[in-house]
Chains A and B, each alone.
Chain A
Amino acid sequence: MAQNQRPKSLLDSLGEEIIRILTPVSICMLLVVLLVSILNSSSSLSVTSSIATIAYSETGSDSSWDKFIGALLNSLVFVVVVTVATFILVLFFYLRCTKFLKIYMGFSSFVVLGFMGGEIALFLIEEFSVPVDCITFLVLLFNFAVIGVLAVFMSKMPIIVTQGYLVLIGMMVAYWFTLLPEWTTWVLLVAMALYDLAAVLLPVGPLRLLVELAMSRDEDIPALVYEARPVTHHDSASRPVQRRIWRERQNARLDSEDSSSLNSDLNSTVSIVQSSHNGARIARVEEGQVSERDAELSAPLIDRRMDAQDGMSTESLMLEGMGLGSSGAIKLGLGDFIFYSVLVGRAAMYDFMTVYACYLAIVAGLGITLVLLALYQKALPALPVSIALGVLFYFLTRFLLEVFIVQCSLNLLMF
């Protein structure tokens, strides 16, 4: 009977949008941690040479200072490449070559799913000695990649398939990034966070230009953005559905092709030839989806995200961003997923305690960024806060906390 039911409390639905965006980020991080712990248990010594290590390849015997300088050079090169790529993307957008961009993105996402997914699957098959033959494997892989591309592009698919595929793409790219040498990875993360900050907030930054172009023209570029399922409130009766209230969206595309191989200057082919470890092709495509949502707590927020990629031939841009699209649901760019997962994956290579600490730090950073978004109501970079907190917590945990806890636990002191 209606009298027995209490009216729904506020607490029932308060943080729902945040949870909806937090869940896929957590799932992606979890998958990357699993992959890293399974596949890296035998310490792999092969250094993937790609554009990220073009300046310096870290070897085990260099002194710390050398490693640091090398890592710095690597990241500098990387950031420069990404900047150039972003500017070229802005140029394309300005000249309205959207069809070309769209096709290119579709192609690159196919390659990501196909080749990188295939590589990871090969690692797994090797690890677990799964008996499967070539032809079956190829057929399955091909189907998987095709569905992935369709899911990302067409909006007719059930949303959970699209979301799942976006998470998988993020996971694959993040796994590839964790194969980089250690110092390079950390310095790269910090460099990308700083770059993100600069590119979004400075008036001359490429991402900001892109957003302003998109807004002024009132159109979208297809790009890879994770859009959380919109929240519909069942008990709000006659509230009109607000469509397209905030037309700010960012789409950033990031395509990068990376053909890197061990013998570095082989592979003149842009079409990636499968080489043992290092074919990594990252393409990011962003796509915004239009969905409807009751806007209650929402505010127009745009964050940008950047995806960095190693590319030898073409550049890739990824816009990272969080924002409410024209639908009102929270959108998070795929690059954010990737960099968070890279951080957590790298932490997993050390120990699980750092994983938990970094996970909590990243979630906290994400929360803070969302709050800032609600306050400032303009495009904000989603990367810096979380990465800063994550790196800070990683180093604190590694050097301070672990000793403390191991000491206490060994003496069975707990509190």
Chain B
Amino acid sequence: GYALVALGPSLSLFIAVISKKPFLILTLLSSTLVWLISLIILSGIWRAFLPLNSTTWWPFAILIFTSIAFQEGLRLLFWKVYKRLEDILDAFADKVSKPRLYLTDKMQIALAGGLGHGVAHAVFFCLSLLTPAFGPATYFVDRCSQIPFFLVSAIIALAFVTVHTFSMVIAFNGYAEGNKVDQLFVPSVHLAAGMMVIFYFCSHVYATPSCSVSEPYYVQ
């Protein structure tokens, strides 16, 4: 159940669009891998500072900020690799006398890349923690004690999958056309979504209904 909440839209997207074209599956897997590597590097860097003191909120802010900056940097790198790939593919297409890549093809590649990122997020932040959910009870976190933890993480994962998927498409479009607004839009959205959690901390001071309030913000 939880897994489907987190991954439902991405699964349907996968079946409809990506499974038809094997190249997109490969793109998906490679972007998932890249995201995983970025996570590992980040965890390596932050390992020394964990476990964090959970009462103050600013270490978390730094954590999120650095992580997001790193990942946006990676997105730029992904874009550069993609440019080179596009050239190779076009040359190859000429060689076998097939038409060059259409715009929809390029967007599909971007979509697959973004979906890969989103799936990696959902898998690592939500699914891998679901193993205790198979048992009879459920689990609540102190921060947010109305909704079971698994449901919270599933909803957040859902939101992030959407964010990641579409931000990749927008980012590629932005880089391609040199459109500054688009280019800046993506990292800011990412940052905003990440910073939302800080909302939790501030609201920790106030009453508890906060976390069910912030949930709708996420889904927006």
A141 to B27, CA, bound (A): 41
Contacts of A408 in B (CB 8 A): 63, 125
Are A367 and B26 interface neighbours, CB within 8 A?
yes
State whether the Cβ of A92 lies closer than 8 Å to any Cβ in chain B: no
Contact B152–A405 (Cβ < 8 Å): no
Is A45 at the interface (CB under 8 A from chain B)?
no
Stretch at the interface among A213-221, A315-323, A352-360: A352-360
Q: Does A265 contact B (CB under 8 A)?
A: no
Contact A405 B128 (CB under 8 A): yes
Q: Decide: A404 and B98 in contact? CB cutoff 8 A.
A: no
Bound Cα distance from A357 to B143, whole angstroms: 29
Q: A14-B22, A351-B131, A407-B51 are in contact. Are A400 and B92 (CB under 8 A)?
A: no
Count chain A residues whose beta carbon lies closer than 8 angstroms to a beta carbon of B.
43
| Surface stretch bound by A, among B8-16, B34-42, B177-185 | B34-42
Q: Can you name the residue of chain A whose Cβ is closest to the Cβ of B64?
A: A415
**B residues within 8 A CB of A9?**
98-99, 101-102, 105
Interface-side segment among A15-23, A64-72, A301-309: A15-23
* Chain A to chain B contacts (Cβ below 8 Å), 9 pairs: A12-B21, A16-B22, A352-B131, A401-B43, A414-B121, A414-B125, A414-B156, A414-B194, A415-B71
Shortest distance between the CB of A161 and any CB in chain B (Å) = 23
| Residues in A whose Cβ lies below 8 Å from that of B99 | 6-7, 9-10
Q: Does any Cβ of A come within 8 Å of B44's Cβ? A: yes
Residue of A nearest to B66 (CB): A415
Give the docked Cα–Cα distance between A352 and B160 (Å): 21
A14's closest neighbor in chain B, by CB?
B23
Select which of A7, A11, A13, A405 is within 8 A of B124 by beta carbon: A405
A296 interface residue, CB < 8 Å from B? yes
Q: Is the CB of A11 within 8 A of B131?
A: no
Cα distance, A353 to B120, chains bound together (Å):
11
Evaluate contact between A360 and B157: CB separation under 8 angstroms: no
CA distance A11 to B156 in the complex (A): 33
Tell me the B residues contacting A by CB distance below 8 Å.
20-26, 29-30, 32-33, 36, 39-40, 42-44, 46-47, 50-52, 54, 60, 63-64, 67-68, 71, 89, 92-93, 96, 98-102, 105, 108-109, 121, 123-131, 141, 143-144, 152-153, 156-157, 160, 190, 193-194, 197, 200, 211
> Are B153 and A413 in contact, with the CB atoms below 8 A?
no
Closest to A413 in B: B197
List residues of chain A with CB within 8 A of the CB of B100.
Answer: 10
Binding site for B on A (CB under 8 A): 6-16, 18-19, 22, 296, 351-353, 356-357, 360-361, 363-364, 367, 393, 396-397, 400-401, 403-415
* Chain B residues positioned under 8 Å from A360 (CB to CB): 29, 32-33, 36
Q: Quick one: given A11-B21, A404-B39, A407-B51, are A415 and B128 in contact (CB under 8 Å)?
A: no
Using A411-B54, A413-B60 as known contacts, say yes or no to A11 and B128 having CB atoms under 8 A apart.
no
> In the complex the two chains form, what is the Cα distance from A413 to B141 in whole Å?
12
Question: What is the chain B residue whose CB lies nearest that of A13?
Answer: B22
Q: Are B39 and A11 touching (Cβ within 8 A)?
A: no
Whole-angstrom distance from the CB of A392 to the nearest CB of chain B? 10
Tell me if A7 and B22 are in contact (CB < 8 A).
no
Known: A9-B101, A414-B197. A351 touches B40 (CB 8 A): no
B116 nearest CB neighbor, chain A only: A360
Please classify the interface of chain B as helix (H, G, I), strand (E, B), loop, or mixed, using the class held by over half of its residues: helix
Residues of chain A within 8 A of B54, CB atoms compared = 411
List the B side residues contacting A406 at CB < 8 Å: 129
- Complex CA–CA separation, A75 to B23 (angstroms): 39
Given A15-B25, A352-B127, A405-B124, A412-B40 contact (CB < 8 Å): no
Q: CB distance A11 to B23 under 8 Å?
A: yes
Q: Please indicate the chain B residues that have their CB under 8 angstroms from the CB of A15 in the complex.
A: 22-23, 25-26
Cross-chain contact of B152 among A296, A357, A412 (Cβ < 8 A): A412
Q: Are A413 and B64 neighbours in the complex by a CB distance under 8 Å?
A: yes
Q: Check B194 against A411 for contact (C-beta < 8 Å).
A: no
Who on chain B is nearest to A236 by CB?
A: B96
Question: Are A7's CB and B26's CB within 8 A?
Answer: no
B141 adjacent to A363 (CB under 8 Å): no
Residue of A nearest to B43 (CB): A404
The answer for the CA separation of A397 and B128 in the assembled complex, in Å, is 12
B96 to A296, Cβ gap below 8 A? Answer: yes
Q: Beyond A351-B128, A412-B144, A415-B67, is A11–B43 a contact (Cβ under 8 Å)?
A: no
Closest chain A residue to B152 by CB distance?
Answer: A412
B33 interface neighbour in A364, A411, A412, Cβ under 8 Å: A364
A406 to chain B, nearest CB (A): 7
Q: B36 contacts which chain A residues (CB < 8 A)?
A: 356-357, 360, 393
- Judging by beta carbons under 8 Å apart, are A411 and B60 in contact? yes
A18 touches B22 (CB 8 A): yes
- A400 and B101 within 8 A (CB): no
Given known A9-B105, A10-B93, contact A397–B40 (CB-CB < 8 A): yes
Which of B60, B93, B128, B156 counts the most chain A CB atoms within 10 A? B128
A407 and B64 in contact, given A7-B99, A357-B36, A414-B156 (Cβ under 8 angstroms)? no
